[in-house]
Structure 1
Amino acid sequence: MSPAETSSGETHPEIAATLALRRRGLTLTLLTTAYFFSYMDRQILAILQELIRVDLHLSDTQLGLLAGLAFAIFYATLGIPVARLADRGNRVNLIAGALALWSLFTAVCGLAQNFWQLLFARIGVGVGEAGSSPPSHSIIADLYPPEKRAGAMGIYSLGVVLGAAFGTMIGGTVAHLYGWRAAMFTVGLPGIVLALLVKWLVVEPKRGLSDVQIVAEGEAHGTIPSIGEGFRSMFANKAAFHLVMGVTVTSLIGYGHSAFGPSFMQRSLGISMFDVARYVAPIGAICGTISAVGGGWAANWVAKRWGLYAQSWLIVVMKIVGLPLAFLFYTESDPKTAVAIYFASILLVNSYLGPTFALIQGLAPLRLRALWAAVTLFVINLVGLGAGPTLIGVISDALKPSFGEESLRYAMMTFAAATPWALFHYYRAGVLLKRGAATA
């Protein structure tokens, strides 16, 4: 039973609101940890896929499908009905149940004997993870006011950075010692314990709790619009549309690169799986943490100095500075130089998530926050996660007759070249947000 509930299961609104605000730091920590497990379980395949490729006799295209499309279709599409449940009901229960489900299926991946069994297990991971981010975004938006929201979302986005890094460190180390199947068990099963902690310790906050200046009873407690109306309302907002497009293209590039990054380091730079796990991943985690937290802090600062629209333009500046580093990384042949460039690029490229999601949550109607988050994640994951790793795998296989093991290098480089497309959308979002603020 929740700490804010009576013996009959009824929630005392005043007690729940007070306790939710008192525990918001703990709540943000647990939600970030759940997101960490989500991304660790999702991305562990990247460090293990060279072993899996040999063990199960898979092609790059099949690896891309496992990392991308097979996972993303279910993760993205189920996020919409889950968000609808989150906008209507208890978000904490949804997150806890989803966490237990995807953790179990991550462990099941370690039992797979062929491509189809591993595909089924990956689908299960995607089904479970669909229940995490939309309700988490909604809860964070309720607990933190607009001027602090980007910083909170920046901390939450650490789940991406640290989840990928620790998935690489733990997965690579355990696989080096005991094999890739043991690595799947090791990262999957602890998530079930975390699910219990989320259920017991996180308090469901009142919707709009930190938006007192705009909360009206009709919006906070009225009839919830349909899914179709939610889609239409989001894409009718031009600033929200460009933010979604910007983060989608950025995710297309990022998911493709992260899915095959460890393989690229092993194939083209000659760095062993174990060295990627014990040297590259830990430093990458530090750089990614600085990027995510620093990006959220910088976004809060520029919003206070110039207005919320400046957050979108901050992303443009960071991406422009980071793009040459990406090209240098994929063209460099010396391992030490390439890894140093990689660390420098991480300081810039991971700073976009917190400000982007904070801006979208700020534009969303109170009763549609989880749905707007789900729509954003639907597009990001269906296009970015679904197509990114899959397309890199296809391109790499297509280039293999000409470039051999170096085909992956050129596939990765091709994706980096799409960055200006994302920059255009972030720039336009900033223009529209500034124009809207001026006319408000």
Structure 2
Amino acid sequence: MYSTWFLLLLTLIYASSFVDRIFLSVVGQAVKLEMNLSDAELGVLGGLAFSVFYSALGIPMARLAERYSRVMLISLSIAAWSAMTALCGTAGGFWHLLVYRLGVGIGEAGSTPTAHALIADQFPEGRRATALALYAFGPPIGVLAGAIGGGWAAQHFGWRHAFFAVGLPGIALAVLAWLTLREPRHAQVDAAPPTAVPPLRSVVHLLMSSRTFVQMLLGTVIGAFAQYGINLFLPVYLARVYGMGLAQAGMVFGLIVGVGGIAGNALGGYLSDALGARDKRWYAWVPAIGTLLGFPLAAMAFTLSDWRLAVPLLLGCTIMLNVWNGPTFSIVQGLVTPRMRATASAFVFLLMNLVGQGLGPTTVGLLSDRFAASLVKGGGYQATCHASAAGAQGHAAAGAVSQACTQAAASGLRYALLLMSVVLVWSAWHYFSAARHIDRR
């Protein structure tokens, strides 16, 4: 019974972190119009601003988790990121939002690797991939809650009040974690004094000496680069290309990423544990096949002009792109000893989030601006279209210039997301390469 509550609460905490992490993308179009931002600036706020401290502090936080109370660290982290998310609603401009997003990243740095270590100690190897995959329900649940509920709140009460609504409930989760969670009764962990924690260089050397780990890491990092870039601009794409309002775009985005993420994580965890019992290479083949199948689904979706045809393809793509989590972290946790587990996950998240969430959305934003600029006759896209958007704020856009800018912005983002989907093939290749180094037994 406690194991069920243990995993459920950690999953809800992970969901809360993702509500706060992705909510800026849900209200991105409204923030862009009010603050007159470029797509590149949106990409920085949605990706790099969060990931720079989240990635950099992940390993130091994990080292603390190896030595001290992991429950206390998670509780403090939840309170910190929730408060910083709420403060985003008070931002007066780009730089205010940037600082608050940095704060969200600092808070979340202490959560996920620490939770991975707790889960790996709580569940045995034969159930670990499934447990980690169930924990990975957190992001899609968070996306569902943040996109649908937050999108509705933003449309009816404004994006600033919506930030308060999604940020403050995390404080209650922090209290629950502090009062109800306990360290797993794992003999090796309980018996090891803080001085017995292996040094960071030993953990990194152990991981990087494994060819399986290196190839799984490359597949994960490259896949995250593409997937984060696509996902964090998806609500903006739905609004810009298909003319959806905040509530509708949030609902569709939540269904794609939320339902697709839940189904993909469940499928990946179940298949890898079931098939891996006969042949361990399935722990790499499952994410390889899923990522490879995701590419044509994404590419087709971004060529369609009817959202009713594109959305089912994006849902199928999201399912395929989320089968990687359980098997990947099961391999990682199986390579290290209990006192290395938080650090091992933090090392993966360091690269996955810095390259994936940090550079993925930023790259999409830069590509979108570049493609859009090339589609405006006579050049001067930034000056002409930003001035047009600022002048049109608060009333219907009119005139040839405004129409040309709107079409260029929509097409530019479409081309950027199409180009990003090709990267998925590269990711799949590394997962297939990892399988060659895994002993089938």
Q: TM-score, normalised by structure 2?
A: 0.89
Partner of residue 158 from structure 2, selected from 179, 184, 194: 179
Pair 1:432-2:437 in alignment: yes
What are the ranges of 5 or more consecutive residues in structure 1 without an aligned counterpart? 1-21, 210-214
- Give the superposition deviation at 1:277: 2.4
In 1, Cα distance between equivalents of 2:417 and 2:222: 15
Equivalence map 1:53-64=2 (5 Å)? 53-64=32-43
Question: Within 5 Å, which residues of 2 pair with 1:316-355?
Answer: 316-355=288-327
- Does the CA-based 8 Å contact 2:294-2:424 persist in structure 1? no
- Residue 341 of structure 1 aligns to a residue whose secondary structure is helix
Distance in 2, Cα, partners of 1:329 & 1:118: 32
Number of equivalenced pairs: 408
> Residue 222 of structure 1: CA displacement?
6.8
Matched, 1:380 2:352: yes
Asked if the contact 1:327/1:413 (under 8 Å) is kept, the reply is yes
Contact 1:219/1:366 (<8 A) preserved: no
1:161-220 per-residue CA deviation (whole Å, 9 max, x = no partner) reads 12122211122100000000011000000000110001111111144x6xxxxx699989
Aligned AA for 1:24? S
Task: Tell me what 1:263 maps to.
Answer: 236
Deviations 1:248-303 (A, max 9, x none): 11111111011100111111122222212234524652333222112211111111
SS at match of 1:139: helix
User: 241-250 or 274-283: which moved more?
Assistant: 274-283
Which residue identity lines up with residue 277 of structure 1 in the other structure? G
Over 3 Å counting, the alpha-carbon distance change for 1:360 and 1:417 in structure 2 is same
Please state if 1:389 is matched with 2:361.
yes
Contact 1:364 1:372 (C-alpha < 8 Å) held by counterparts: yes
**1:302 has 2:275 as partner:** yes
Q: Residues 146-295 of structure 1: matches in 2 within 5 Å? A: 146-207=125-186, 223-282=196-255, 284-295=257-268
Residue 227 (structure 1) shift: 1.8
Moved runs in structure 1, 4+ residues, more than 3 A?
215-222
What does the per-residue CA deviation read over 1:99-142, in whole Å, with 9 as the maximum and x for residues that have no partner?
A: 00000000000000011111010000000000101110000000
Q: Quick one: which amino acid aligns to residue 268 of structure 1?
A: V
Q: Aligned partners of 1:409 and 1:287: how far apart in 2?
A: 21
Query: In the alignment, what sits opposite 2:401?
Result: none
Structure 2 unaligned runs (5+)?
Answer: 376-407
1:411 alignment counterpart: 416
Structure 1 residues 368, 284: CA separation in 2 closer, same or farther (over 3 Å shift)?
A: closer
Describe the SS at the equivalent of 2:166: helix
Cα distance in 2 for residues equivalent to 1:326 and 1:365: 38
Aligned residue type for 1:66:
L
Q: Deviations over 1:383-440 (max 9, x none)?
A: 1111001111111111112231210111111111111211121112111122xx56xx
Q: CA deviation at 1:304?
A: 1.5
Secondary structure of the 1:331 match is coil
> Is 2:20 the partner of 1:41?
yes
Tell whether the 8 Å contact from 1:271 to 1:335 is kept in structure 2 after alignment.
no
Could you say if the C-alpha distance between residues 237 and 218 of structure 1 is closer, same or farther in structure 2, counting changes exceeding 3 Å? farther
Compute the TM-score of the two structures, normalised by the length of structure 1. Answer: 0.89
Q: Is the 8 A contact 2:290 2:321 kept in 1?
A: yes
In structure 1, C-alpha distance between the alignment counterparts of 2:205 and 2:107, rounded to whole Å: 27
Q: Distance in 1 between matches of 2:290 and 2:192?
A: 36
- CA shift digits 1:43-85 (9 cap, x unpaired): 0011101000011111111111111111111000101110001
Hey, what's the Cα distance between the residues in 2 that align with 1:390 and 1:252?
10
Whether the 8 Å contact between 2:232 and 2:361 is mirrored in structure 1 is yes
Instruction: Work out the CA distance in 1 between the residues paired with 2:208 and 2:106.
Output: 25
What residue number does 1:4 align with?
A: none
